[in-house]
Each structure stands twice: as C-alpha cells, then as structure tokens.
Amino acid sequence: MAITNPAITEKPGHTKYPTLFTPLDTGRVHLKNRAVMGSMHTGLESEENGFERLAIYYAERARGGVGMIITGGIAPNRSGGIGSKLSEPEDVARHRLITEAVHAADPLVKICMQILHAGPLARGNPVGPSPIKSRIAKEVPRELDESEIEEQLDDFAQCANLAKEAGYDGVEIISSAGYLLSTFLVEKTNRRTDKWGGSFENRMRFPVEVMRRIRKAVGDDFIVIFRVPAMDMLQGGLSWEEVVMLTKAVEAEGATIINCHFTWHESQVPTIATMVPRAAFTSVTERLRKEITLPIIASNRINMPEVAEEVLSQGKADLVAMARPMLADAELVNKAAEGRTDEINTCIACNQACLDHTFSGKPTSCLVNPRACHETLLNYEPTRAPKSIAVVGAGPAGLAYATVAAERGHDVTLFDAASEIGGQFNLAKRIPGKEEFSETIRYFARMIEVLGIDLRLNTKATAATLKDENFDEVIVATGIAPRIPDIEGIDHPKVVAYIDVITGRKPVGKTVAIIGAGGIGFDVAEFVTHSGPSAALNIDVFAKEWGIDFENHPRGGVTGVEPVVEAADRTVYLMQRKPTAMGRSLGRTTGWTHRITLKRRGVHMLRGVEYQKIDDDGLHAIIEGEARVLDVDTVIVCAGQESLRTLYDDLENEGVNVSLVGGAYEAVELDAKRAIDQASRMAAKV
C-alpha cells in the first residue's frame, strides 16, 4: 500500500483503529481524528492559578493526540453557576490562556467551551421554568418571568460571543442532566402556561432559541455542538419522538455537531459507573444518527480505543467522547495511534477521584493517575542521582511507586510473595461489576516490562535477604492483614475470611451473616447474592436490572419499566455496629447503586449491632437493643484491616534505609486512590 502521509499512515495503530483515525471533514468542521475529550468539571477554576493549571491540563491532552476538546461547563451568567462564568469582556483573558496553550500544543486540535447554565442545580440563587425542586438540590428554584427568559437568551449569545473572542473554536450547549435547558423540556419541571410551556413545541422553545441566538451571534464558521438528552432516565421524561423533534429543530437552527447525553443527575439509573457495560448507550446514538445529517457524538463508558473503533466502524456514531479516560491517560490517543494500546492507563469508571471529588467540592483527579489536574504540582522528572530501590509488595501502592521511580531513572526491583502482581486488586476484579479493575493490573504489568523493572514474584522478601542485596532504599508496600474481631467463637468452622470467599477457597452456605459493612462488606454481599452474568459484561442483564427499555424507548427510556433483579438463592445479613445509615463510606456518586442493588436482592441491612458470640446455633447479637440469634450457615468477616509492617520494623532494626507506603503505612480509611497517590508522590521525590 502506498504511504501518502507518513505522519498519519505509517503508525501501526492506524491499521488497528482505521475509523478512529479517519479525519472528520464536513465542510463546516475539520477534525484530525474522531476522538473527542468530553466535557468534565475539574474544579480548577476556583483554585489558585486555576486557569493557568487548566491551560496546562488541556494542553497535555491536546499533545496526547485527541481531535477535539470540550471544556468543563462555564456559566453564561451569575445565576447559572456551579463553577466559573464567562459573561463580561474582562473574563476573556483567562480563557485565552487555555485556547492559546491548546493551539500552541497542536494547532490542529479544536477546543470548544461548554456553556452550562445549571438552572435549578445552580449554587446560590437557582432559577428555572417553574418553582420545582430537584430531588438532589437544596433549594426551590425561582420561576423566571418572560423578560428574564429574554435576558437569559441574551446571556447565552453574549457568552458564546466572548468564547469566540477568547479563541475557542466553538461552544457546546448542554441541554440535559437537569440543568436549565432540560428543565424546560419535561413536564415534570415545566408547568408554565405561556409560550415557554405546555406542548412540546413550547417546552423546547427555550433550548432551540438558545441555539438560534448563539448561531446568530457567532456566525456560520464557529462550531456549535448541541448536547441533547438522548435518554433522560426520568419517569415521565422525554419520549423518543420528542428527542428526535428537538434534535431536528436544533439542526435546523444551525448546530454543527450533535452530542448525546444520558440521564439527569437526579435519576436513579447508573450511566457511567463501573458496573455499566462499555459503550452501553450507543444503540440510542445510532438510532438518533439515522434521523439527522449532522455528525453525532457517542459517549459514556467508551474507555479504550477498541471500544471507540467498534462504535465508529459499526456506524453508531461519527465521533466518540472520552472524558474520564483522558484523566486516566492524557496520551490515550497517541498510544492507540502508535500501536501501544497495552500501555494505556485505563479509566476503570470508579468515580473515586473525579466525580466523587466534584460532588464534594474538591478538585478533580484520577485514582489511577494522580497527576490528572495536578500537572503543575506533580511531575515525574528524570533523576540526577539514580538509586537501586527495592519495592516490597506489588499491590497498587508498590506498583505505582515502582513504575514512577523507574520512569524517573531509578533501578527498581519489585518483590511480591504472590504469583501475580496486583495485590488486593486481584480480589476487587472478581466482584461482579468491578471487572475493569483488571485493566489497572494489565497496565502495570506492561509498564514493568517497558521500564525494565526487575520483577520477582513468588518471593517473600525478608529483612535478611533485602539487607544482603544492599539496596540504597527499601520501600515496604506489604499492604494489610484482615482484622479478626474479638468475638467469642470467631474460630468456629462456620466463620470465614472475605479473601477465602472471593477466591472461592471456602464454600458459602445458604444463610449468611457478613460482619462489617464497609466497601468490602458491600462487595462481598454483591458477590454472594449475585447470580448469572455480570451486568457490566452483558447489556441485556444491565437493562433488566435497572429497568431500561433501549428498544421501545418509553418516556425517558425507563417509564413503566420495572427493574428485574435475579439473586442467588441465599438469605444474607449485612451488619455494622454503628447506628448510622449503611454504606456511608461508599463513593458519593456510586454508593447509591450498591445500596439499591442489595436492597432489591433482599439483603437484610442491620445496624447498631452488638456481636456476642458465634456457635453451632449461629450468630448471637443484640440488634438495635433486641437479643437475636441469626441461624446462619456462614459468617463472613469483613471487619476492616490492619497494617502489615513487620518487615518494616525488622529492616529498621537492621539499620536499612526504609519507608512505608499504602496499606502498610496506614490501613485506616485506606483505598487504592490513597495508596496510588501517596506512592506516586513519594516516588516523584526519591
């Protein structure tokens, strides 16, 4: 085959992902490939030097090969805010920092600013079409009168104009998620009787008018992406016919690209969590694509180039948006282009450092990549004084330390007593719905090869052997040991450790008590109540479990569809001593999915439990003041963990230069986010 443009066609990855790397050229817009970095709130705008940090963050993604970037939402005025606004000429300069940095990184990359008016979800002074409070908002929004609606429309047009002045290539208008535009669309939040409410023509008038005014303000050449609520997951939400009507109307008003959004924030169907199958919603995008002529973007759980290629090559979309995957790996697209897919640090859809942070008011980052949104603060510079370093333990902490230290030029030897790397992630990946966790292990396994780390598996490191090898530094990342609670009868044969249950080493009976309802207690409850294929791997199971009808698309995709949950034939009690609500320690944006699932499977959640003893009759406990005997076959202990640090103490006694990291450093409130973050920061300095 003749190579016409070596810069593009010679890269081996292009033959693997030909559609992903086909430029998009519609006459109105040219993109160098089909990969879009989707909009994501970072919280950086409110940090010191926030726009400088944003500029570097986006520029890094532009250099990483993406075709187009859509920024996090920027409000068109004060009433729309959840972050920053662009409403006055003096706001332009700081946005120019971003556009200049991105265009300097790669002049071919387009950057569009998302205009987000949060409406009833705005902080401070929320407004909406009608005074109806969202389930997740604190305040009832104030109803906009007709003149205020006109002012809002002017503000959208002004915001787009200023975005153009700031050097953006376009804007995205978000008309979904429960933000202002979408609340005009559905009867649930729009009870108006004037021309902005009532029939669907009237309800869609405001979003369509926003599109029209923006196009008028910015002229024909500016990209305007319109994000439609392709499936809003609301009982009584938009019908399919209404979704199509809206999309055609904004197409007629001059939109350049259609983007699809799924769900409102208040809806109780997961759309991006790790138990959602990859590319779960692309059948909806495909249907909408057939109704219009504009290019359409697919989104949600597209986290690897092969998923993107499949969506594109099957004609389900013209472009794919990857938002969180660009946090996890800024180089994702380049790695795909260069045939280095196995070096991609995959987004595992845990939400722990991105959305959970956003919803807690903390700056965004990424569990698998602590540099995300911290590009100016955390860098892995080459070392000027290479050392020989032993890292003991190849769990998330040890892996992060070893790879960062080796990347910087240190000579690293990595020990693990087990036959495989991954530590507790080897347990996590076996929980139905957490299959993505194996991607992190695959990534680290490849980086160990790429970086030439001396990996020694099946090797229990001791102070004596380590001392003999004379390493300059030893890093103890030996993790944790499960806590054995002091309960009479804890050594009874019906008591088993969670590790033995998850690995299948010990059988589990029909009636089960789980001691401890932290993250692991919930995961174990999922494990023992699960039946059939994992929803994360099977779209039909996922649709059934969450009550979604992808084919008939009733209003919102969910109206009148009852979730059908198949559970293992077991009676399960999940217990904690605290009197507080169960599952408080779970992720802010995902905990509810676990609580709902276990409830639907009939798991008995018991709090305020005082354990007394375990014997042949079962588990004796006082539960909310009442003495009970739970006649269970199996008691699974998930009572937290304790640091495993004997090796550290031994090495210190031997006078070896030794440090602790991860669970070995501190088991309380340990999770992989903290383990990887701490290890990466330590290794950045060694």
Binding mask 510-529 for ligand NAP (x = CB under 6 A): -----xxxxxxx-x------
Strands 68-75, 110-115: pairing kind: parallel
CB-facing half-sphere around the CA of 151: CA atoms within 13 A:
11
Count of residues that bind ligand SF4 according to CB under 6 A: 14
Residue 59: φ, ψ to 5°: -60, -35
Among 349, 502, 517, 536, binds ligand SF4 (CB under 6 A): 349
Q: Which does 641 bind (CB under 5 to 8 A by kind): ligand NAP, ligand SF4, ligand FAD, none?
A: ligand NAP
Shortest separation between residue 505's beta carbon and ligand NAP, angstroms: 18
For ligand FAD, the binding residues in 414-473 under the rule CB under 6 A are 415-418, 423-425, 427-428, 431, 460-461
Residue whose CB is less far from ligand FAD, 40 or 586: 586
Count of residues that bind ligand FAD according to CB under 6 A: 38
Binding mask 553-592 for ligand NAP (x = CB under 6 A): -----------------------xxx------xxx-----
Shortest separation between residue 400's beta carbon and ligand FAD, angstroms: 8
Helices (H), 360-436: 396-407, 425-428
Stretch that binds ligand NAP, among 393-401, 470-478, 509-517, 545-553 (CB under 6 A): 509-517
For residue 324, state whether it binds ligand SF4 (rule: CB under 6 A). Answer: yes
Shortest separation between residue 539's beta carbon and ligand NAP, angstroms: 23
For residue 585, the tally of other CB atoms under 10 A from its CB is: 16
Q: Which does 351 bind (CB under 5 to 8 A by kind): ligand NAP, ligand FAD, ligand SF4, none?
A: ligand SF4
For residue 14, state whether it binds ligand SF4 (rule: CB under 6 A). Answer: no
Residue whose CB is less far from ligand NAP, 276 or 639: 639
Q: Which does 478 bind (CB under 5 to 8 A by kind): ligand SF4, ligand FAD, ligand NAP, none?
A: ligand FAD
Q: Which does 348 bind (CB under 5 to 8 A by kind): ligand NAP, ligand SF4, ligand FAD, none?
A: ligand SF4
Shortest separation between residue 611's beta carbon and ligand NAP, angstroms: 6
Among 71, 263, 352, 641, binds ligand SF4 (CB under 6 A): 352
Shortest separation between residue 401's beta carbon and ligand FAD, angstroms: 9
Q: Which does 565 bind (CB under 5 to 8 A by kind): ligand NAP, ligand FAD, ligand SF4, none?
A: none
Report d(CA 305, CA 307) in Å as an integer. Answer: 5
Q: Enter the DSSP assignment of 409.
A: T
340 CB-contact burial (10 Å; exposed 0-12 / middle 13-18 / buried 19+): middle
- Name the 3-class secondary structure at 272: coil
For residue 347, state whether it binds ligand SF4 (rule: CB under 6 A). Answer: yes
Shortest separation between residue 272's beta carbon and ligand FAD, angstroms: 15
Report d(CA 261, CA 281) in Å as an integer. Answer: 9
Q: Which residue is nearest to ligand FAD (CB)?
A: 395
Q: Which does 578 bind (CB under 5 to 8 A by kind): ligand NAP, ligand SF4, ligand FAD, none?
A: ligand NAP
CA dihedral 14, 15, 21, 27 (to 10 degrees): 130
Helices (H), 547-671: 591-600, 646-653
Q: Give catalytic residue positions.
A: 179
Q: Locate 39 and state its tokens.
A: 């909009």
Report d(CA 13, CA 304) in Å as an integer. Answer: 13
Among 319, 333, 353, 536, binds ligand SF4 (CB under 6 A): 353
Q: Which does 427 bind (CB under 5 to 8 A by kind): ligand FAD, ligand SF4, ligand NAP, none?
A: ligand FAD
Residue whose CB is less far from ligand FAD, 247 or 352: 352
Q: Enter the DSSP assignment of 234.
A: -
Nearest of 558, 605, 597, 551 to residue 578 by alpha carbon: 605
Helices (H), 219-295: 240-252, 282-289
For residue 328, state whether it binds ligand SF4 (rule: CB under 6 A). Answer: yes
Query: Positive or negative CA dihedral for 211, 212, 215, 216?
Result: negative
For residue 348, state whether it binds ligand SF4 (rule: CB under 6 A). Answer: yes
For residue 197, the tally of other CB atoms under 10 A from its CB is: 18
Report d(CA 217, CA 41) in Å as an integer. Answer: 26
Helices (H), 314-460: 324-328, 332-337, 355-359, 396-407, 425-428, 437-450
Shortest separation between residue 579's beta carbon and ligand NAP, angstroms: 9
| Alpha-carbon distance values, 158 to 85, 99, 155, 213 (Å) | 12, 18, 5, 9
- Contact criterion met (CB below 8 Å) for 337 and 13: yes
Among 638, 660, 676, 683, binds ligand NAP (CB under 6 A): 638
Shortest separation between residue 244's beta carbon and ligand FAD, angstroms: 38
Report d(CA 591, CA 629) in Å as an integer. Answer: 29
For residue 639, state whether it binds ligand NAP (rule: CB under 6 A). Answer: yes
Report d(CA 149, CA 196) in Å as an integer. Answer: 9
Strand runs (DSSP E) across 276-357, as ranges? 296-298, 319-322
Residue whose CB is less far from ligand NAP, 76 or 433: 433
Query: Positive or negative CA dihedral for 185, 191, 193, 194?
Result: negative
Q: Which does 320 bind (CB under 5 to 8 A by kind): ligand NAP, ligand FAD, ligand SF4, none?
A: none
Report d(CA 406, CA 355) in Å as an integer. Answer: 30
Residue numbers at the binding site for ligand SF4 (CB under 6 A) = 324, 327-328, 347-354, 366-368
Residue numbers at the binding site for ligand FAD (CB under 6 A) = 350, 352, 392-398, 415-418, 423-425, 427-428, 431, 460-461, 477-480, 502, 519-520, 523, 644, 647, 662-663, 670-673, 675
